[in-house]
A and B are shown apart, each in its own frame.
Chain A
Amino acid sequence: MVKVIYVAKDGTRTEVKAQVGDTVMQTALDNDVAGIVGECGGSMMCATCHCYVDDAWTDAAGPRKDGEDDMLDCAADEVKETSRLSCQIQLTPELNGLVVHLPEDQV
């Protein structure tokens, strides 16, 4: 089990326990974290799982995957350097304590 912290636009922090191997998107849905939609089920088709990786965690989370840039281009909210598709971040033991920030809009 690892810990993931979701920070909503208004600052609300939701801390959840997650399974190594699950994605940050799936973990959010499983725990009813508002702010992640994940419409395409992680097929990199919808960009409704947009999140901003906290500055302290960008290295651990790794770079964007192939194709993520193009999808993010069309995310509903502002795209920053730390923007990722949360369905493309798979949890590893190294990501225990990961903090991601959520955009206001996903659709």
Chain B
Amino acid sequence: MAGIVIVGAGQGGLQAAISLRQEGYEGTITLIGAEDGLPYQRPPLSKAYLKSGDAEALRLRPETFFEKSDITLRSGLWVDRIDRAGRTVHAGAEVFAYDHLILATGTRNLRPPIDGVERALDLRTLDDAKKLREVLSTPQRCAVIGGGFIGLEFAAVARGLGHEVAVAEAADRLMARVVSPEMSQRFLDLHHGLGTAVHLGAAAQGVTRDAMHLADGSEVAADVVLLAAGVRPNTELAAEAGLAVDNGVVVDAQLLTGDPAISALGDCAVFPDPATGRAVRLESVQAATDHARLIARRLVKGDSDGYGAVPWFWSDQADWKLQIAGLSAPGDDTAVRADGAVFRFAGDRLSSVETINNAKTHMQTRKRLGQGPVSRAALKAADLDIAAV
């Protein structure tokens, strides 16, 4: 028995190892990750960690856990090839044999072809966040390329620390890919209120020593530029091994690739959305860990249930906690409840609910969506009370 090899020791890769042991797997588990040190959580990198600098608090499991659970963690090791015929992965001169391989390689920052982009900083890894904290220790004029979750979380923290902040977003609203126009507007007001300059419909075109240049020819003075314009899934290993890749490693409802000995999970995987069957790739702790649990159950217990978890997500910006339950497409309809909760619909089906500082509605939605689809007519009849349908 060669055991199970997991490539990528992030949130999903680690969860796969943990869940395999919890389900009772007794073979060898080798968790290989390119980053140094122990696996850690990324969400706080743009939130609590930026403020506190407490790296200990990010750690997912202590070193002793790996010994006790008999999980071989190989940190700081880059896997450069999969040999599917021989069932081995190669990292330099080292070779690891597998019975089953789990790809959990995540994403890396997209580096768009902008002049001077090499001057811009990233926020993806602990090393990136450390660098940003160092920079923020003295007063700065910060510019952020990209008005998505990470860029806006950073902007809120930087403003909170007293820095000047400007955000440039190429789309005509903030977080356009993931939230409703109503939410985009509320967050625009929030960031304006915090004193952040927000430029919409403003593609960044260049970065120089002291400015960010926008497509309309204007420039924003900046000592520090953060690049937060999206990510690219790490699919090279899979592609070179001949596995299907389309904006991610393509897997079926069992999270299996075309090779029955290889699964993929988390940020790097494209899977059928349980609600619509549409191929989606999610970047969330929820997807990474729920994927990992399903794969472990399948490998150890032989479960053949398809993946059906309800997606959920959160973002902290200043003292607003945005929560999203479900998954919507940018064009979905919206209905706003009196308390501000935003209900989104794909045709007659409730696709997601967005809330700010309203954990109750968020949790009610997660619970309800887990029981099956909710129709718009039923929700309307119940005055948008998700607990009543």
The interface of chain A, by Cβ under 8 A from chain B, is 29-30, 32, 34, 39-41, 43-45, 47, 67, 70-71, 73-74, 107
Contact = CB atoms under 8 A, between A and B. Distances in A.
Contacts of A73: 360, 363-364
Contact of B44 (A29, A41, A70): A41
A29 B61 contact: yes
Interface of B: 22, 41, 43-44, 60-62, 64-65, 68-69, 285-286, 289, 293, 314, 316, 323, 359-360, 363-364, 366-367
Determine the main DSSP class of A at the interface with B: loop
Given A34-B22, A74-B367, A44 B293 contact: no
Contacts of A70: 359-360, 363
Contacts of B359: 44-45, 67, 70-71
Contacts of B22: 34
Given A29-B65, A41-B60, 11 more contacts: A30-B64, A32-B68, A34-B22, A39-B286, A39-B289, A43-B316, A71-B359, A71-B363, A73-B363, A74-B366, A107-B293
B61 A47 contact: no
Contacts of A47: 363
Contacts of B285: 39-41
A91 to B, nearest CB: 14
17 contacts: A30-B61, A30-B65, A32-B65, A32-B68, A39-B285, A39-B286, A40-B285, A40-B314, A41-B41, A43-B43, A43-B316, A73-B360, A73-B363, A73-B364, A74-B364, A74-B366, A74-B367
A67 B64 CA distance: 33
Nearest to A30: B62
A41 B40 CA distance: 10
Nearest to A29: B61
A68 B366 CA distance: 16
Determine the main DSSP class of B at the interface with A: helix
B364 A41 contact: no
B203 to A, nearest CB: 33
A10 to B, nearest CB: 15
B50 to A, nearest CB: 14
A74 B363 contact: yes
Contacts of B363: 47, 70-71, 73-74
Contacts of A45: 314, 323, 359
B289 A41 contact: no
Contacts of A32: 61, 65, 68-69
B242 to A, nearest CB: 34
B10 to A, nearest CB: 13
Listed from nearest, the 6 A-B pairs whose CB atoms lie closest are: A74-B363, A70-B360, A70-B359, A41-B41, A30-B62, A74-B367
A107 B18 CA distance: 15
A44 B360 CA distance: 12
B311 to A, nearest CB: 13
Contacts of B69: 32
A107 B286 CA distance: 11
Nearest to A69: B360
Nearest to A19: B56
Contacts of B360: 70, 73
B313 to A, nearest CB: 9
A39 B41 CA distance: 10
A45 to B, nearest CB: 5
Contacts of B367: 74
A45 B64 CA distance: 27
B361 to A, nearest CB: 9
Nearest to B314: A45
A67 B319 CA distance: 14
A3 B234 CA distance: 43
A74 B371 CA distance: 13
Contacts of B68: 32
A29 B41 CA distance: 14
A24 to B, nearest CB: 15
Contacts of B286: 39
Contacts of A30: 61-62, 64-65
Nearest to B290: A107
B315 to A, nearest CB: 11
Most buried by A among B61, B69, B363: B363
B387 to A, nearest CB: 9
